Structure 1
Amino acid sequence: MMSSTIPRSVFNDNIREVYSKSSKLGDNWNLIVFDKNIIYLEKKEQQMYQNEIITIVYHIIYSESYAVPVLYLNISKSNGSIFKYDEIYSFYNLNQVSNYQESGLILTQQEHPLLFKPFYFMHPCKTSQWMNETKLSTCQSINFTLKWLSFVFSALRIPLDIKYALD
């Protein structure tokens, strides 16, 4: 099967569009300018989990190696400690996500490519295949980063406002 990737310039345009829609929807994504051509999206949320306030940080970053978007995330407890893998797995109920492994959504931990801190991330190994399948079934003007984000968030049961799909 062919795979599909996007150049950084398309990714940057995609996340600028997501940021613009987020601003209109009040969805709190921030556009982070790391360098002249390196930008990414960040979203921080707080919620109650097991009688404790936790902070969830999401980053949407471009993978130079795979030429696709990648979701990086961390969850920290109120004492500042980061969730361990089994806590992340439990938080997102990954044992209940149908076809979790087959979907290509593989959660692992590595150093954040820009911040050099440990983050969990959804491995991008199958993203280009999925994007190719999506490209074949949709119009060419679609924001692939947004389409990918809706796929990943849906699999993890993270809410994403349906209004992102509207122009």
Structure 2
Amino acid sequence: MSEMTWKDFLSQAQEFLKISEQLGDGWVLHEKDANEPNTFLKYSHKIKCQESKDSDFTLINVEYHIVYSVSYQVPMLFFQAHRSDGSLLDLEATWRVFMPDTASKDLYQMLTQTEHPVLFRPFMALHPCRTAEVLDQFGQPSANRVLTFISLYGPHVKLQLANAYGLSK
């Protein structure tokens, strides 16, 4: 089963961070305090996108957090997207930018705004209800489920990992 304990998550997040440091790609481990689940992986980058078909391309700053879900016992992906003027993308704008081809009836089940479990402020989040099931579909368990999770879920919200992550041991 791909459910994991907090200690498993923390250990695998630290292993992921070592790979990131070797690659120099900017992930950090943010620790609010030593309590469960107050440590998470954090990554920021800019993406070029159109908020609507009629608008010009613009740069959006996106901050991603990989957080442990106590309820589901799996990694969970949270993110915030800000325009260059500092304004936050609302839910509808986020759907248009990050999931333009998804049927509107499916969006609430996949990507919604919720409270960040560590920072206690609104973030967008990919719902974790099927994460364990998705991670289990690989047959042989992953050596690092945090890395596998980011590799599988990240591309849905424009978070791409370098291929070198898959080559590291």
Which of the five TM-score ranges fits, normalised by the shorter chain? 0.7 to 0.9
Pairing partner for 2:101 from 71, 74, 96: 96
Pairing partner for 2:67 from 61, 69, 73: 61
Indicate the RMSD between aligned Cα atoms, in angstroms: 2.4
After superposing the two structures, state which structure 1 stretch, 55-64 or 82-91, moved more.
82-91
Conservation of the 8 A alpha-carbon contact between 1:97 and 1:155: no
* d(CA) in 1 for partners of 2:156, 2:60: 21
Pairing partner for 2:119 from 115, 120, 125: 115
Relative to the length of structure 2, the TM-score reads 0.83
Q: How far is the alpha carbon of 1:18 from its aligned partner?
A: 1.0
* d(CA) in 2 for partners of 1:43, 1:161: 13
Q: Which sections of structure 1, spanning at least 5 residues, go unmatched?
A: none
- Aligned residue for 1:31? 29
Secondary structure of the corresponding residue to residue 124 of structure 1: coil
* d(CA) in 2 for partners of 1:31, 1:13: 11
* d(CA) in 2 for partners of 1:40, 1:111: 15
Pairing partner for 1:106 from 102, 106, 110: 110
Secondary structure of the corresponding residue to residue 137 of structure 2: helix
Aligned length: 159
Assess, with a 3 A threshold, how the Cα gap between structure 1 residues 18 and 76 changes in structure 2: closer, same or farther.
same
Conservation of the 8 A alpha-carbon contact between 2:142 and 2:148: no
* d(CA) in 1 for partners of 2:100, 2:60: 21
Once the two structures are superposed, the pairs formed by residues 69-80 of structure 1 within 5 Å of their partners are 69-80=75-86
* d(CA) in 2 for partners of 1:90, 1:51: 13
- The amino acid across from 1:152 in the alignment is Y
- Aligned residue for 1:148? 149
Conservation of the 8 A alpha-carbon contact between 1:97 and 1:156: no
Q: How far is the alpha carbon of 1:97 from its aligned partner?
A: 5.6
After superposing the two structures, state which structure 1 stretch, 152-161 or 120-129, moved more.
152-161
- Aligned residue for 2:133? 129
Q: How far is the alpha carbon of 1:141 from its aligned partner?
A: 5.7
Q: How far is the alpha carbon of 1:51 from its aligned partner?
A: 4.3
Q: Percent identity of the aligned residues?
A: 30
Relative to the length of structure 1, the TM-score reads 0.84
* d(CA) in 2 for partners of 1:79, 1:151: 31
* d(CA) in 2 for partners of 1:116, 1:155: 24
* d(CA) in 1 for partners of 2:46, 2:31: 23
